[in-house]
Structure 1
Amino acid sequence: MTKRLKKIKLSKIKLETNYRNKEKDISLELDITKQGLKVPLIVEEESNNQYVLVDGYRRYYALKFLGMKDAMCSVEEQSSEEERIVKRIGIELHTKRRTAYQLERMINRLLENEKYSVKTIANLCNVKEVTITKYVLGSDVNPEWLRRGELTGAGRHALTDIHNLNVSQETRNYIADKYINREITKTIVEIIKKATNENEFKDIYEEKVKDCINEIILQQSRNYDTVKEIINEHNLQARYTKSSHTSMHNLVLKLLARIEKIFRNNYYIKNLSTNEKDELKKSVRNLDLILNPPITWSEFSIEDQYTKNLKMKKKITENRNLL
């Protein structure tokens, strides 16, 4: 492939794609203003004094914004539109200057041509097939998510993960909104993805799934044991399972051990006010009532209820006689 450097008027360079957004890059403009264009644009010569831009869209737009009339270019021989896309993908996959949204559009454009497959594109770009595949797997993701995600700068691949979550569409939309609005990170999405694949998660009532996910988000914890505790707690509200019950029991013991440790701190105990002590005693009594609830009338057998009724009537009669 022959290349030559040449100063070319920007008006003679054609942009054939919209794969790179036309946006103002102040830092790049300042760099060009101070040091000039350090890396030439890459173009192909279509005809005499007419060119098509292959690589350097950010630099091209920066030059335009600065009012520059021409730029130094590396001129290559003319190829096809698809071959130019391959060049761009190859450059971008190794420099990571374009967003995943832009790369996805380019890859899908190539796949419209029967000549190209994932394997072919990977070989031409000198990358592994899995690198190209991850841009193809999300082809059925909600287009509105993609539009909004690109506008807010949310990472592309997490939207595919959200799309594939084993939850209702309503819950997927809820998580996607939080991610697109930058309320949660890709790391939190990965944790939610792992959590929703847990067997215990699948038993949670549908109307409680969002509550469970909100707790996971609220914790912002990278400690997955904490996430498991949240899942098991919600699972146990749906039905009894030995694993969830054991998990909750161990958690209660751990919390009680921590409380006991705090109680053994004399600086804490000796400085409790009367009101604070009463609050603690009330909480302890409430726990004891939950563990040992008072016997209700319905828990007595029919025979016992009959006997107790007779005794009560006899006691009432005796009291009346005394009066």
Structure 2
Amino acid sequence: MTPRLRTVLLAGGGGGARLARGFYGLVSEANTLVLTNPGDDFEHLGLLVCPDTDSVLYAVADAIDAKRGWGRESESWSVLAEIERLGGATWFQLGDRDIALHLLRRVGLDAGQSLACVTADLAERLGIQALQIVPATEQRVRTILTTGEGDLDFQSYFVGRKCEPKVESLQFQGAAEATPAPDLLTFLKAGCDAVILGPSNPYLSLAPMLAISGIVEALGNAAPVMAVAPIVDGAAVKGPLAKLMTDRGLEPTALSWVDEMKTLYPGLIDLWVLDSRDQEAAEVLRLRGDRVLVCDTMMTDTTQKIALASQLIEEVKRFV
């Protein structure tokens, strides 16, 4: 019997969550640890909300609202309506089923459990088996955006201001003092065949994880690193990436994304995964000496999610 490959997937936002669902469909072929972004986490109504972690949990459990790309499917809003009636804060929408998960997270944390243990418990409650979903650190890391309107935390920028202010710079508070999740280090120590950077926003979803002290070195020294492009045919698949690149004076293309990733993380990435609609960009990269995989990276249904994960696994086998 062929041993399962050991892979780490960095999953932030919708793209990373969809790819995590793809790897969940291939647990017989790959033992995957999914690392989630803590930079979006914040306290709301007395609850710790972990949007990227929860998106991964819901996507893997086939419980995510596919139309919105976040939150629970078949959601109801009775609690939010009552909060509004009582004059409470409703700018950040939490549905009833979503609140139930946050309440259970609060119970676990208040009982002294680690965030990783609480996340594993929530995954089990959602019926997820044979896939580790681990927040990138146990310490507090928060994304702060410096804009023309001043400093904004991620949720104030993303939800409150709908990504409208021009972003001048980013900082990840607490990342330099934080340490990588113990479960990640244990997984890497036992052996790893590949690290995959999901098709996630490099500034808002991947960077908070990669800013954690020592994590780039740990990942880069453990295995070959491949990165899946979140830009397809000159447009961001989802979210504010194209705007953020424009704010930085960059053209939102797959080639610009590669160049930016090389600037941010020199020498880290061994293989670039581009969509088939970016064949010209792939040829340019190959002429530069880069290793490139071209395939269909759009994941509109479960079959496509699993298909992309399968192609990545086949590429990993060429490294092993």
The TM-score normalised by the length of structure 2 is 0.26
Highest Rg: 1 or 2?
1
Structure with more of its chain in strand, by fraction? 2
- The higher relative CO (CA closer than 8 Å, separation ≥ 6) is in 2
